Structure 1
């Protein structure tokens, strides 16, 4: 996973800021009004086709980040590939639809419902009569019970990563017959649909040894349209084959080969014909798209006229200077040949069920003060940041309005009003109220630096902010806020230049290095700060500078571009940022999880069950017995008792409307304390062979593996109309 997608796995603030009176929480939508959840901002892009249009047979070679360390999805080192395998070979009681909402999976369930609430909550599962494991045994209560015991947390011999929900189960019993499973809860649990997906056989869950070690490298018993044939770590592949025991619609494909291909090598693997489907970065997406568009252009010297509107070279297709493109012609010729080989592919795009946020570490330093965090948030133009990333890709560029759900999901509502819109004047007022005033530390101005005047004008040079790692504030980024100028990311000449600069950075050799002199490039020591920046702020003789930590590896170019925009926005209210680029390996463990940062960009996945899955991300940190702070997954170290209480109430109510209301209230209060600022839903770009059906950018929906395949001869033309 890219660092823009870090997955879901301390100074206390003043009590004055925890009072409800300080939180500007908007009234929530009442009954009878329009559903605030709305619709997903982007739908699936999978070349959807009826099964009759898909040929029988074939092998799909699908790029993944790595061969998984474990095939047990409930272990701490499970990854995205583990999930992909589990979806194809194991039962799921519920799966997500295109709006990110859980739906009963009829291949395994005839029904599932709450049949009692007093004195205890009881859920009755009625299983599909044909549902069997690959060894012929019926799926039943024994499998449910074994999974509950393994994941309940009562037996520490099981090395489990999570117990949420299973720890609320009191007992599991056989119902009226072998096809009924009755689950009784000791405490009400609203997110009961999250349980038993995936469901492992009792052979895996029955003993600690089988759970801890037996399912790491192989799954002997499965129950899906595919089964695991082998995992070959040396060659980097997981091979899934069509299951002869599958009772549902038979899989169209004979095999799915999940091949480990690093992100930076996927363009070459696609061109070489080694893979058919791969998530890709924006730079590779542009190459695939340009190759497809150039398919109608003549080869040099062919004498054939170009198709109308077709670019006459790869350089022209990318908007590059033809003369400059001729330099280094040897590598250019190789690249052109590879790009021609990409003509059999297309880019399928949607939005991931995940969002990128700006995290503000409230453990100590300036950001321990809620007013400073709120000032940072009010300085940001989130619309412009979303546009920076998504507009060039042709994707909807609306900022995300919730920490706990995404548009289309049941719990979604735009609660950003609890914090307020971008407002430079208000941000400066909050900083002043917190004691941060214009003017650097006395006696520490650099040569040629002017002290800030009474009007708060910018100093000509920074004494300590011009070292490498500080972002330049570009002249083209002087824009007024909503009361004056604003950075709207529009279609004007400077907006276009900014987008082009972002594209160039994506196409740089490492894909992550801004170029000298561009907005967002690193400044040499002593670089002048243009008039667009406000005077630096200081308090008690200390300059207000925040350490902004970013990953340095390939694929982090988008984060660097966004960080540059954020730094310039903060500079306009007097906040300086010190950019620290760290290795990919240490970014999360040594900086985010350990709290060694002030500002950082990383992503959280959306969940259909936020009361369960999001609580550890926003829970108030509590001191441990050894004096250390237990933050769970709350890496901003910002939380309140009120938010915790709202989560607890939401997970314990069986009234779905009430649960959604409680989640939305919790989100409004998370916005108000400004520990993290959601920015944009992440783009999902997938290169797929043009004749591949029912696969690509899945968006929210759980893939339907048995429907994937290659178009039957002539079917694609008919499907296209």
Structure 2
């Protein structure tokens, strides 16, 4: 995940329509004022991506590929709560064994470098038998084996609260991990059926690195002690904010094509100029400013796809927002179509409203389950605030209850692109029209998640959820906390009913029946006032001409070992 908000403080607003018009006009720095001259295409459909695919014999040996990184990665254990976000997980899936990869349609494909095969060998109880590639070994020389699977299950399964896990989904359903017929065979038995078993052990983390809670929580901070991939860490320079990956000579599979993959930390807004200065080979082009500057850049190809990637506004669960009616009112006070238009200004792919927290529109089973909760209705929003005891103050002042004004804070990443600043500005004006005063408070980009979002220290915040796939991953985003562990649900809002529906769906093997359960859960998430979904964010990127096997991935996973430059 990378944050997608910052904003400036609003003065007193006049009528809502005027406020929104001003916000749209404020897009001058985002691609030419309120006039949107970018011709819009439909978002890429299911199973589509845009990678400039090339067989390896058409890719040069050697060279360097340079990427931006939006924040320095401190926690490298993807099973640990602070290590589970987009860039960190993508990199770790290239440094550690990712037993299955995904294609553009989101289908799982076993990786033969790690697996001979893996399949369900018993239904009641469900047993999955993995046959490992006998050549696969860790960088400490030990072969991959059942003890690694067992350690991951025991750490990530959520039974020991000393392990601060990001997502126990699937692992908590496991009842046993054993060696099979020989050391290359692993048998995993589930106490309850789990449909998305192929998403487990992605990546597999070595037992030697997580043998104790201290190792699990702290042993991967600022370091990656053990790897097992085509690439390994070359340098990790925190002072220079630069990370390099290089081919691992101990790798048993096909050698990676590049000599070096370099990641440099920079703000999202700085990537456009870095790309134009030929400092990086890839940059996001999904905002008007970026697209306007990158679309005609020399030796550049614009690529697009529809990934699991959404932009939303999240509410915290404390203070005034502990009242569900207040959260519901804030949702109904938002004119999503106006907000989406602001974000979409100057971008060539249509941003479609998102009516589901679990499915993307290009996934089978998608339904708009938002009902009335995402429908702009200022009168209904005011009525909900009345019912919650927040009285009109008049004169453009915030409502009050028990002598307290309805004043809230939206925590913002200070490197947010201009289009999202304009969106936040408009949202604040809409809330002011309903009687809620919202201040927009910038915080440093590196602190946004670690000090504010992850610990739940926010009332309102917006960020992107990426790669929350397959469907069972949704449980961690909305499940009730257990003690201090909020999983990936930093607002800490949830219900037993939502948990039960999501768990039942995850154990339902029939995709159509599972989809019904997920959509039932999603309707409850909307009613809860947990999150206002805005839109699926199309992946629009600029890549250097000649960059092979990289670009806009859609639902597919990244494979740095195939990365390189065309011959």
State the 1:158 CA deviation: 5.8
Aligned match of 2:330: 376
- Tell me, yes or no, if structure 1 residue 617 matches structure 2 residue 472: no
- Tell me, yes or no, if structure 1 residue 356 matches structure 2 residue 311: yes
- Tell me, yes or no, if structure 1 residue 236 matches structure 2 residue 241: yes
Q: CA RMSD in A?
A: 3.8
SS in 1 for 2:408: strand
The answer to whether the 8 Å contact 1:285/1:687 transfers is no
* The 10-residue stretch of structure 1 (248-257 or 202-211) with the greater mean CA deviation from structure 2: 202-211
The answer to whether the 8 Å contact 1:402/1:678 transfers is yes
State the 1:701 CA deviation: 1.6
- Tell me, yes or no, if structure 1 residue 677 matches structure 2 residue 532: yes
- Tell me, yes or no, if structure 1 residue 401 matches structure 2 residue 256: no
Aligned match of 2:552: 697
The answer to whether the 8 Å contact 1:45/1:697 transfers is yes
- Counterparts of 2:272 and 2:82 in 1: how far apart (Å)? 28
Q: How does 1:620-635 map to 2 (within 5 A)?
A: 620=480, 633-635=488-490
- Counterparts of 1:619 and 1:220 in 2: how far apart (Å)? 31
The answer to whether the 8 Å contact 2:493/2:530 transfers is yes
- Counterparts of 1:541 and 1:279 in 2: how far apart (Å)? 46
SS in 2 for 1:273: coil
State the 1:398 CA deviation: 0.7
Aligned match of 2:346: 392
The answer to whether the 8 Å contact 1:201/1:221 transfers is yes
Decide which of 99, 102, 114 is 2:105's aligned counterpart: 99
SS in 2 for 1:659: helix
Alpha-carbon displacement from aligned partner over 1:30-87 (angstroms, at most 9, x marks no partner):
xxxxxxxx98579433333343432222121222234533443333443544323322
State the 1:667 CA deviation: 0.4
- Counterparts of 2:362 and 2:306 in 1: how far apart (Å)? 12
SS in 2 for 1:416: coil
Aligned match of 2:422: 561
Decide which of 521, 536, 539 is 1:666's aligned counterpart: 521
SS in 2 for 1:4: coil
Aligned match of 1:413: 367
Alpha-carbon displacement from aligned partner over 1:342-378 (angstroms, at most 9, x marks no partner):
x23444344553322222445443x555444434333
Distance 1:668 1:398, change over 3 A: same
SS in 2 for 1:395: coil
State the 1:198 CA deviation: 0.7
- Tell me, yes or no, if structure 1 residue 65 matches structure 2 residue 70: yes
Distance 1:425 1:709, change over 3 A: same
Structure 1 length as normaliser, TM-score?
0.64
Alpha-carbon displacement from aligned partner over 1:107-130 (angstroms, at most 9, x marks no partner):
433432222233x32111123455
- Counterparts of 1:701 and 1:399 in 2: how far apart (Å)? 23
The answer to whether the 8 Å contact 1:99/1:408 transfers is no
State the 1:192 CA deviation: 2.4
Q: How does 1:551-590 map to 2 (within 5 A)?
A: 551=412, 553-570=414-431, 574-584=434-444
Distance 1:52 1:285, change over 3 A: farther
- Counterparts of 1:576 and 1:217 in 2: how far apart (Å)? 42
- Tell me, yes or no, if structure 1 residue 547 matches structure 2 residue 408: yes
SS in 2 for 1:147: helix
- Counterparts of 1:664 and 1:433 in 2: how far apart (Å)? 28
SS in 2 for 1:85: helix
- Counterparts of 2:459 and 2:266 in 1: how far apart (Å)? 33
Which structure 1 segments of 5+ residues have no match? 7-37, 293-342, 446-461, 466-536, 713-721
Q: How does 1:418-567 map to 2 (within 5 A)?
A: 419=373, 421-424=375-378, 426-427=380-381, 430=384, 440=393, 462=396, 464=397, 545-551=406-412, 553-567=414-428
The answer to whether the 8 Å contact 1:363/1:638 transfers is no
The answer to whether the 8 Å contact 2:549/2:563 transfers is yes
- Counterparts of 2:287 and 2:421 in 1: how far apart (Å)? 14
Which structure 2 segments of 5+ residues have no match? 7-42
- Counterparts of 1:215 and 1:2 in 2: how far apart (Å)? 21
Distance 1:5 1:698, change over 3 A: farther
The answer to whether the 8 Å contact 2:336/2:534 transfers is yes
Q: Which has the higher contact order (CA 8 A, sep 6+)?
A: 2
Aligned match of 1:45: 50
- Counterparts of 1:100 and 1:414 in 2: how far apart (Å)? 21
Decide which of 505, 508, 526 is 1:650's aligned counterpart: 505
Aligned match of 1:117: 123
Aligned match of 1:54: 59
Alpha-carbon displacement from aligned partner over 1:149-195 (angstroms, at most 9, x marks no partner):
44445667766555443344332222233432111233443432222
SS in 2 for 1:61: strand
- Counterparts of 1:579 and 1:672 in 2: how far apart (Å)? 25
State the 1:644 CA deviation: 2.3
State the 1:549 CA deviation: 1.2
Alpha-carbon displacement from aligned partner over 1:222-272 (angstroms, at most 9, x marks no partner):
332223334333443333222345454442222222233343443443344
* The 10-residue stretch of structure 1 (207-216 or 234-243) with the greater mean CA deviation from structure 2: 207-216
State the 1:5 CA deviation: 7.8
The answer to whether the 8 Å contact 2:286/2:540 transfers is yes
The answer to whether the 8 Å contact 1:399/1:680 transfers is yes
State the 1:664 CA deviation: 1.3
The answer to whether the 8 Å contact 1:266/1:280 transfers is no
SS in 1 for 2:515: helix
- Counterparts of 2:500 and 2:427 in 1: how far apart (Å)? 33
SS in 1 for 2:371: helix
How many pairs are equivalent? 529
Larger radius of gyration: 1
SS in 1 for 2:536: strand
Distance 1:140 1:588, change over 3 A: closer
Distance 1:422 1:647, change over 3 A: same
